[in-house]
Amino acid sequence: MAPKTESPTLRGLDRAALLEMYRAILLSRKIDDKEIQLKRQNKIYFQINSAGHEAVGAALAQVFVPGHD
């Protein structure tokens, strides 16, 4: 039987933090997709595309302090 080890980390982020970032990235992409759909249906007038930049927003969310930044 293998000995128990601590949960792996990636650059200091534990599993919970990585999953939180992944969820933020996925949610950002889904919102962007919905905005594109609404724009094509002429239900909204403009859409600011963020596709491909989701990870930047998730990383910023990790370091920004609410009410300070």
**Could you read off the pLDDT of 6-38 as tens digits, one per residue?**
667 777 889 998 999 999 999 999 999 999 999
The three-state secondary structure class of 66 is coil
The three-state secondary structure class of 10 is strand
* Residues in contact with 7: Cβ distance below 8 Å, sequence separation at least 6, in sequence order: 14, 15
**Could you read off the pLDDT of 45-58 as tens digits, one per residue?**
988 888 889 999 88
Output the pTM of the full model: 0.73
Contact 50, 28 (CB under 8 A): yes
